[in-house]
Amino acid sequence: MAPSPHTLSIAPMMDCTDRHFRYLARLISRRARLYTEMVTANAIVHTARGGRDLARFLGFNPEEHPVALQLGGSDPALMAEAALHGARAGFDEINLNIGCPSDRVQSGQFGACLMAEPALVAACVRAMGEALAATHAHIPITVKTRIGIDHQDSDAFLDDFVGRVNAAGCDTFVIHARKAWLSGLSPKENREIPPLQYDRVFRLKTKFPHLAIGINGGIKTLAETHALLAPREGVALDGVMIGRAAYDAPYALLAEADRALFGDERAVPSEAEVAALYLDYAEREATQGVRLHLMLSHAVGLFAGQPGARAWRRALSRGHASSGDPSRVLAELRARIYSRGGCHELAA
């Protein structure tokens, strides 16, 4: 059986999964599905209506495909309009955020708090689907959500939410296998304190076998990914989404992913080769006015666990803090990468 399009994906993470990190991730894995940071529908629509450039929100490199746009919002009309802009920009998927519990997100009436309003979520999904269908933009609308919120965290609550949103036109769900507390915990604490309940996601798949169900939350290795993709009592999930582990140590997590999960036997560049390619990318972007620190910060974990990793982090930190000529900063970083016997390595 061919792998699902969502077999492995990197979670949308604020201040992390911008287009620069996504480019870095794609240098390592050709197959993992990438997601933008959450972008509010309101920001996209108001920018477009004002005649301003949408690249700030919707810009990405062609190399990033397959790449999904994650939207936040709760106004069906605005969501539909934003989805159209995402489709025109060339995204492969529109994902609706129903998982973020931050106060800022709740104040905008979107994110995890919308689990309590399945009819409104369904209306958003339906409006987006109808808008895309009217323009023949046949890209999937997906939902990333939690297993519950506050004391609304029963199987029946999750089943009802998924069933009603599915009826509106969504057939792919990524489930963060923790509930969210809408008050009393920070977003970071909400990623760590509510216990993981992977069995809940498998039970959901049992009840909705026709849906594509992916799992997210606490997954840190390819071994854990394999375990979660393996059938349990005849039930197999359709994908695994990894968050912080993929950002903190992208090469360690992704280098073997294409071969192990997708059967893709093409050679993967070494860490140092990836670093050299990414520095080339950073130099091109810097000539277009992109600030160097916005790109260098994403490469901190590239050599995680390898000799010389600490020196690399220090060099990046100096480059991050420098206000000097980007070419000089990049030359100093390149000096840490050298070629011996035709293979790039990292200078310890």
For the segment 150-167, what is each residue's pLDDT rounded down to a tens digit?
999 999 999 999 999 999
pLDDT at 133: 96
Those residues of the chain that have pLDDT short of 50 are: 340-343
pLDDT at 110: 83
| Amino acid at the residue 78 | L
pLDDT at 220: 96
pLDDT at 264: 95
Q: 249's torsion region: left (phi>0), alpha (psi -120 to 50) or beta?
A: beta
pLDDT at 271: 94
Catalytic residue among 16, 100, 113, 170: 100
Residues whose CB is less than 8 angstroms from the CB of residue 69 and which lie 6 or more positions away in sequence, other chains included: 35, 36, 39, 58, 86, 89, 91, 93, 94, 95
pLDDT at 1: 59
Q: How far apart are CA 326 and CA 260, in angstroms?
A: 38
pLDDT at 4: 86
Nearest Cα to Cα of residue 127 among 163, 156, 84? 84
Q: In this structure, how many other beta carbons lie within 10 angstroms of the beta carbon of residue 192?
A: 14
Nearest Cα to Cα of residue 144 among 6, 313, 260? 6
Q: How far apart are CA 176 and CA 151, in angstroms?
A: 16
pLDDT at 347: 65
pLDDT at 323: 64
pLDDT at 345: 67
124 labelled catalytic: no
Span 34-75, pLDDT tens digits: 999 999 999 999 999 999 999 999 999 999 999 999 999 999
